[in-house]
Structure 1
Amino acid sequence: MPALLSRPTLRTAAPRRPLLYRLGHGAAAHPWRTLGAWVVLALVVVGLAATFGGTPQDDYDVPGARSQVGIDQLRAHLPGAGNTAARVVVHDRSGGRPSDASLAQLSTRLQAMPHVVQVFPAERSADGDTAVVNVSYDAPVTDPDLMGNLDPIEAAVAPLRATGVQVELGGELPESAAAPMEGRGEIIGIVAALVILVFAFGSVVSAGLPIGTALVGLGVGSAGITLLAAATDVSTAAPMVATMVGLGVGIDYALLLVTRHAEYLAQGFSVTESAGRAAATAGRSVVFAASTVLVSLMGLRLAGLPVYSSFGFSTGIAVLSVMAASLTLVPVLCRFAGRRLLPRAVRRAGRRAGRRSVAGDVVAKSLRMPLTARWAVKVAKRPLLWAVSAAIVMLTLAVPALDMRTWPQDPSSQSTELTTRRAYDLVSAEFGAGSNGPLTVVVDRARLDESAVAGLARDLGARPDIVAVTPAVTSPDSAITVFDAIPAFGPTDERTAGLVRAVRAQLPAGAELTGGTAFFADIAEMLAGRLWIVIAFVVAVSVLLLAMVFRSVVIPVKAAVMNLLSIGAAYGVLTAVFQWGWATDLLGLDHPLAVSSWVPILMFAILFGLSMDYEVFLLSRIREDWARTGDSHGSVVRGLSATGRVISSAAAIMVAVFLGFASEVDVVVKQLGVGMAVAILLDATVVRMVLVPATMSLLGDWNWWVPRWLDRVLPHVRAEVEDDDVELWDEELRDDELRDHETETVGSH
């Protein structure tokens, strides 16, 4: 054994009946009080949300982005510029020419819409069968009156559509409402979770209990997010992300508690005692696992964009709510379910002859060398071969990530069933692909005169990657002059980022490049750089937390490396599926596309926390066994045997939930769903079933090595209950039973 190994020894005085034990035992002993408290809490939170809650609202401004300077100049000096816009594309399918009178009437109706500043004259295509009418507004798209509200513009174009002419809507405002969430993800995830749990545990009660608990916690968490929206800006996508993560971890946490509760029931303990012990053992893992998720989510603040902060806070509220529901409602529901949580064979055996003896024997027999234990033994026999093979698989899957190109999604990545995609395609076909992503040049007239502006426009127009330059427009106060440069390719083309950098290098002092395309290029560059900051923070804090809990240097470092492997492999699969186009048809997409710039950071923060969940669940049982037996190899087999079913079931539920969200129309949601499903699948199979047992078998007692000086410095936090605690609880339980018996005896006399 290593000289500096820190292995816990039996203590003479351990804390009896810890807080989590008392919480679980008390909730099960007084179920109606606990339910009443939850009803009151839910009514208060929902009432506050209904009275004072806000509405999720995006903030698309990015302080620090170079293009933001030009946007602020436009808003300050040119009415309608720098705010949201809409584009109405009118096309005659027969090849005819839309009449000037119909376009004039359309412009009149558009001008009458709320918040409209200007309706520009219609621009016709070269063959005349297509016309584009641009509309500018007096507020950003995030304005509550505008965001997602297509009713006014739909009413304005309805008379023209009634004549048989094709009318499609594009631009920032229609895009805000083009692909609404349809709620399929939640439904698919819940149904799949129910089916998986019924097959895994053979009991409808056991299957429904975790799902019900998660839904209650998620409901309260949703009200909490509404209250958060009253205090700060919350992205409209944040509740969706919070639901995705909250539903998954909520079921996981409840499932872990129910599984441990059923184990204690099978050993013959009463329902209330089982609930207390489950809360004190599995509950510790739940609390610590939730803490790692929260730490990862807080790393989103380092991404530098306000939208990520709202993702972190909203998802954190959901995680805290489902954790609280799991710790308090699971004991209550277990009390109501009684011994129906156990398989029928165990219940029959318990009724035939003494619950502790026969029921425990039946369970022990059913759990004797399950598949996960046999697998762990097989891996432990040749750990080096299995570890190298698994690492090769993960690294191979991660290779495509080296080619990953990130770019914010635009209508070109959407389904052809959406009007915004059809408008995009019409503009590309009739006016050129670059017309969907012009580069806007804003010139400060105090620094550049008329001749300098004309020379700049001429020089840009001479570039081979610029096909046209629009006439310059000077603001009413003569402070700025604005013109657009039309690229030779679309905004999602891989050459766009280089074009933005080249044009910026060509601009003289006093000129700024802005517009949607330049803004997207800035976001892609900023987020690519910030990703490494987020990774460093999340990994460092998570390693520290694991070191505190497991009193080891090797375990947390190894866990971080394995989590990075699973996330890297997920990035690789994401690149191959979307960017290389290997499975776009299966996902309802008609062409390959770049990975959304929003996805890598969000995926990392969420997945690292979720992966740590499974790490805590598994290692808690392994260390608990090792602390009792000192058998480093056997503890891996027994720990994997004890947690294999619950981790596999939890991972399968997570995968189902995330794939459910991949069925939504929005491409960013698709990519998040696919990426996180792949990562969880790999984490629960290749990592937990191969890499963890293989590396732990190779390292033996070195898994738990920690320098003595570090062991003294690190605070003591435990995610498992050790053998001496359980012995003391058994003593207390026997004392309680003896007192109850004496009381009954005295009463009978």
Structure 2
Amino acid sequence: MSSLPPNAAPVPPGAGVAHGPGPLGRLGAWAAGHTRLVLLAWLVIVAALGVFAPQVNSALSGAGWQANGSESVRVRELAREHFGGNASSALQVVVSANRQVTDPSVRRVVAEVVRELEADDRVSEVIRPRPGATVSPDGRTAIVLGGAAADTNDMVRAADDLKEPLEDLSRNGITVHATGSSVLWSDFNEANHDAMIRAEVLSWPVTLAVMVLAFGSLVAAGLPLLLTLAGLVASAGCLVLLNELTPISVWAMNFAMMFALALGIDYALFLVMRFRGALSRADTPVRAVTETMDTAGKAVLLSGITVVISLSAVMLVPAPAFRSMAGGIMLAVLFVLAATLTLLPAVLGGLGHRVNAVALPWVKAGEHRSPVFAAWGERLWRRPLLYGAASLAVLVALAVPVFGLRTAMPSITVVDEDASARAGYAAVSEAFGPGAPGTLQVITPSVRANDTAAVLERAPGLAAVLPAQPAPDGSGLSMIQAVPETGPSDPALGGTLDDLRATLPEEALVGGAAAENLDLQKLLSDKAPLVIGVVLVLGFALLLLALQAPLISALGTLASLLSTGAAFGAARLIFDEGWGDDLLGFTSQGFLDAWAPVFFFAMIFAIAMDYTVFLLSSAKEHFERSGDPRDAMVGSLAHSGRVIFAAAGVMVAVFFTFALAKPLPPKEMGIVLGVAVLLDALLVRLVLLPVLLRLTGRAAWWSPAWLRRILPDVRFAHD
């Protein structure tokens, strides 16, 4: 065990213990004493915002997967404005037949497709099939283009509405499929939303069982549901209202639901278990609530702030879908946190000893310290190097593969084979060549169109270059469409795009749906180090604020980074290399979806820091009381180990049910987050971090005098 630095005085037992309730204790006492008022206030909030909640799935946006400010987005805007909506977001309707498209029966179907598109005011100019461009060389496949007259979100909604009526036009050896970027996102959102709902339904029985076991009584087990319901309804209503100001991704609600449930259970577990212990000592429920909020309430507040701060780093990525998803989760966390700090104390004060009603036979009322985890803490204290080295070896072994992790935007295979977008994609690839679904759009001033076309004709990696088409509005711009030799998911297309942008005239801009995906992928890769760095710095700063101890704050942050790295290392083996893909029911794309390193990192780190705050705040409370490093380490496990273990059990159950989903993105999320929580709870919070407390001893809690002067005085012990 390390010794205390020479300029730090020993902390005597009882030093630093707060006298009298702090702000959170007073808030809890007020809420417990005004139960009806608090319940009424929350009822009004939930009712007012709940009016809008049912609209959440229909009102929120389906697009937003783009790199704002990129060259490809600029091309899409120019194409929509000057080229009759012939942008990447346009609807492509593929008509395939077992006979020539000039056959009268096929021409009638094409005419019906045109009428269907023209009847929708979100579609601008409808371009009929043109030989040599949108009629296949064998003459049996034609493409009707429905120009984009609306923004990308409305074009996804147009795809939602039109893809089935268009498919219904198929008959007598003629098939009709809508495809293109907007239809792909429509199918993608639909498939993944349905899969996430099914996974959440499957997770509920397991979640309820773990909650009853963890809380020990049916009454207490119902409290997280109260917090989750209040937080979800309020945040859903807020998202609908915010969508009137700026587009909010429909995925924001899916992730918000998942986080609200997970954190609602975490926070309720921590407070209810502490309340039970305080209730056995306090003379009134209000005093028990006061003690609970003065101790565990501080940890919950700091945990919630840490989660929000970690997710806020995703806002550094200028992609609407990512920003709104992070915002949705943050909003849900804030509502759940508010309910935890006001509604839960009011309910606990009103329930009093009835919180233990309908208890399981083996549960002891007032039990707060776990003998099992206390014994585990004593074992770690006696043999820290053995357990610490074993835990570290597993984490490092899993983290090493992360350095070879490959990422890319999802391929067409993320939607079912019978989905409209994929069926149309397959028809276009077969009729026009593998690169046709990823056709690049080059917009150039008309005076440079010949020079641009000449460069495109000589460029490697292109299978065909179509003649320049001047803009019909007289803007002086021309569009040249270039068909790559490879498909949109082939890594070679990225090299082709880079070469074109380097060699084309300066005024020429290269875009198209495939280019938009590549630009977003590059943006995510470029921003990942910044997001990760900001998350780490802010996480350390918040731990330092809470613990007032630089060493253990740094070690806690690094431990969270290690478990996150191990989760992504496991993700590389599973999704890049295909380990266990038959067992898990998917075909490896050879890469992890590009949003995972940024978005999943922030989510995993937020959860990891959640557990870190619970464990280390409990350790600090014990150290404030006794000044004994052994009591701090063993006591923190005895009082928070069961909470961490139970909360992790619920999260793992929830996340791993997503691994059963058929679509790949929810499966990736479920496996990566589930493995991360499992590793973090079992190997980091319950082994490695306590071992670090043991090895650093009193030095873990040392703080230089100058730092103590500038930091606010945050204490967790209650008198």
> Same-fold call, TM > 0.5?
yes
What CA distance in whole angstroms lies between the structure 2 residues aligned with 1:81 and 1:279? 59
Q: Read off the aligned partner of 1:403 and give its amino acid letter.
A: G
* Mapping for residues 263-302 of structure 1, pairs under 5 Å: 263-267=277-281, 269-302=283-316
What CA distance in whole angstroms lies between the structure 1 residues aligned with 2:317 and 2:66? 14
What CA distance in whole angstroms lies between the structure 1 residues aligned with 2:242 and 2:394? 42
What CA distance in whole angstroms lies between the structure 2 residues aligned with 1:148 and 1:663? 30
What CA distance in whole angstroms lies between the structure 2 residues aligned with 1:15 and 1:225? 42
Shift of 1:26: 3.4
The answer (yes or no) to whether the contact 1:83–1:140 under 8 Å persists in 2 is no
Instruction: Tell me which of 264, 283, 286 is aligned to 1:250.
Output: 264
Output one character per residue of 1:145-164: Cα deviation in whole Å (capped at 9) or x when no partner: 75264333422341324x46
Shift of 1:49: 7.2
Instruction: Tell me which of 20, 24, 28 is aligned to 2:24.
Output: 20
Structure 1 residues 164 and 332: CA distance shift in structure 2, 3 A: farther
What CA distance in whole angstroms lies between the structure 1 residues aligned with 2:544 and 2:645? 25
Output one character per residue of 1:201-249: Cα deviation in whole Å (capped at 9) or x when no partner: 4322222222232222221122122222223332222222222222211
What CA distance in whole angstroms lies between the structure 2 residues aligned with 1:368 and 1:253? 18
Q: Read off the aligned partner of 1:63 and give its amino acid letter.
A: N
Structure 1 residues 237 and 405: CA distance shift in structure 2, 3 A: same
Shift of 1:66: 2.5
Q: Read off the aligned partner of 1:151 and give its amino acid letter.
A: D
Aligned to 1:169: 178
Structure 1 residues 227 and 420: CA distance shift in structure 2, 3 A: same
Structure 1 residues 261 and 500: CA distance shift in structure 2, 3 A: same
What CA distance in whole angstroms lies between the structure 2 residues aligned with 1:264 and 1:596? 47
Aligned to 1:102: 105
Structure 1 residues 572 and 101: CA distance shift in structure 2, 3 A: farther
Shift of 1:284: 1.0
The answer (yes or no) to whether the contact 1:202–1:343 under 8 Å persists in 2 is no
The answer (yes or no) to whether the contact 1:406–1:594 under 8 Å persists in 2 is yes
Aligned to 1:43: 47
Shift of 1:501: 1.3
What CA distance in whole angstroms lies between the structure 2 residues aligned with 1:592 and 1:51? 35
Q: Sequence identity, in percent?
A: 32
Aligned to 1:732: none
The answer (yes or no) to whether the contact 2:440–2:512 under 8 Å persists in 1 is yes
Shift of 1:617: 0.5
Shift of 1:646: 0.8
Shift of 1:500: 1.6
The answer (yes or no) to whether the contact 1:118–1:137 under 8 Å persists in 2 is no
Instruction: Tell me which of 129, 139, 143 is aligned to 1:121.
Output: 129
What CA distance in whole angstroms lies between the structure 1 residues aligned with 2:541 and 2:567? 25
Structure 1 residues 12 and 668: CA distance shift in structure 2, 3 A: closer
Shift of 1:576: 2.2
Q: 3-state DSSP class of the match of 1:415? A: coil
Aligned to 1:745: none
Q: Read off the aligned partner of 2:85 and give its amino acid letter.
A: G
Structure 1 residues 662 and 136: CA distance shift in structure 2, 3 A: farther
Shift of 1:269: 4.7
Structure 1 residues 146 and 539: CA distance shift in structure 2, 3 A: closer
Aligned to 2:444: 443
The answer (yes or no) to whether the contact 1:445–1:478 under 8 Å persists in 2 is no
What CA distance in whole angstroms lies between the structure 2 residues aligned with 1:235 and 1:126? 40
The answer (yes or no) to whether the contact 1:84–1:138 under 8 Å persists in 2 is no
Question: Max radius of gyration: which structure?
Answer: 1
Aligned to 1:111: 114
| 2:489 equivalent to 1:480 | no
Gaps in structure 2 of 5+ consecutive residues = none
Shift of 1:392: 2.4
What CA distance in whole angstroms lies between the structure 2 residues aligned with 1:245 and 1:251? 10
Shift of 1:619: 0.8
Q: Read off the aligned partner of 1:674 and give its amino acid letter.
A: I
Instruction: Tell me which of 644, 648, 651 is aligned to 1:651.
Output: 648
What CA distance in whole angstroms lies between the structure 1 residues aligned with 2:318 and 2:363? 60
Q: How many residues align?
A: 700
Output one character per residue of 1:609-656: Cα deviation in whole Å (capped at 9) or x when no partner: 221110111111111112222221232122112111111111111222
What CA distance in whole angstroms lies between the structure 2 residues aligned with 1:119 and 1:396? 56
Aligned to 1:139: 150
Aligned to 1:390: 391
Q: 3-state DSSP class of the match of 1:63? A: coil
What CA distance in whole angstroms lies between the structure 2 residues aligned with 1:588 and 1:302? 34
| 2:332 equivalent to 1:309 | no
* Mapping for residues 489-500 of structure 1, pairs under 5 Å: 489-500=486-497
User: 520-529 vs 486-495, which deviates more?
Assistant: 486-495
What CA distance in whole angstroms lies between the structure 2 residues aligned with 1:657 and 1:336? 31
The answer (yes or no) to whether the contact 1:54–1:227 under 8 Å persists in 2 is no
What CA distance in whole angstroms lies between the structure 1 residues aligned with 2:22 and 2:576? 52
What CA distance in whole angstroms lies between the structure 1 residues aligned with 2:56 and 2:665? 31
What CA distance in whole angstroms lies between the structure 2 residues aligned with 1:13 and 1:202? 31
What CA distance in whole angstroms lies between the structure 2 residues aligned with 1:5 and 1:197? 43
Aligned to 2:160: 150
Aligned to 2:91: 86
Q: 3-state DSSP class of the match of 2:408? A: coil
What CA distance in whole angstroms lies between the structure 1 residues aligned with 2:691 and 2:647? 22
TM superposition score normalised by structure 1: 0.86
Q: Read off the aligned partner of 2:208 and give its amino acid letter.
A: L
What CA distance in whole angstroms lies between the structure 1 residues aligned with 2:31 and 2:138? 75
Q: 3-state DSSP class of the match of 2:213? A: helix
What CA distance in whole angstroms lies between the structure 1 residues aligned with 2:560 and 2:579? 25
Gaps in structure 1 of 5+ consecutive residues = 351-358, 727-749
Aligned to 1:742: none
The answer (yes or no) to whether the contact 1:7–1:704 under 8 Å persists in 2 is no
Output one character per residue of 1:333-370: Cα deviation in whole Å (capped at 9) or x when no partner: 435554354488899999xxxxxxxx66xx48xx5631
Instruction: Tell me which of 67, 80, 84 is aligned to 1:62.
Output: 67
User: 618-627 vs 261-270, which deviates more?
Assistant: 261-270
What CA distance in whole angstroms lies between the structure 2 residues aligned with 1:492 and 1:154? 26
The answer (yes or no) to whether the contact 1:25–1:273 under 8 Å persists in 2 is yes
The answer (yes or no) to whether the contact 2:16–2:624 under 8 Å persists in 1 is no
Shift of 1:76: 3.6
User: 615-624 vs 539-548, which deviates more?
Assistant: 539-548
What CA distance in whole angstroms lies between the structure 1 residues aligned with 2:47 and 2:370? 47
Aligned to 1:569: 566
User: 66-75 vs 510-519, which deviates more?
Assistant: 66-75
What CA distance in whole angstroms lies between the structure 1 residues aligned with 2:649 and 2:71? 44
What CA distance in whole angstroms lies between the structure 1 residues aligned with 2:352 and 2:449? 84
Aligned to 2:413: 412
What CA distance in whole angstroms lies between the structure 2 residues aligned with 1:244 and 1:652? 14
Q: Read off the aligned partner of 1:56 and give its amino acid letter.
A: L
Q: Read off the aligned partner of 2:645 and give its amino acid letter.
A: S
Shift of 1:90: 3.8
What CA distance in whole angstroms lies between the structure 2 residues aligned with 1:28 and 1:381? 42
What CA distance in whole angstroms lies between the structure 2 residues aligned with 1:194 and 1:7? 46
The answer (yes or no) to whether the contact 2:449–2:478 under 8 Å persists in 1 is no
Structure 1 residues 491 and 403: CA distance shift in structure 2, 3 A: farther
Instruction: Tell me which of 70, 73, 80 is aligned to 1:75.
Output: 80
Deviating above 6 A after TM superposition, structure 1's stretches of 4 or more consecutive aligned residues are 48-54, 343-350
Q: CA RMSD in A?
A: 3.0
Shift of 1:7: 6.1
What CA distance in whole angstroms lies between the structure 1 residues aligned with 2:614 and 2:452? 64
Shift of 1:14: 4.6
| 2:649 equivalent to 1:638 | no
The answer (yes or no) to whether the contact 1:168–1:422 under 8 Å persists in 2 is yes
What CA distance in whole angstroms lies between the structure 1 residues aligned with 2:64 and 2:204? 32
| 2:6 equivalent to 1:3 | yes
Q: Read off the aligned partner of 2:463 and give its amino acid letter.
A: V
Shift of 1:665: 5.4
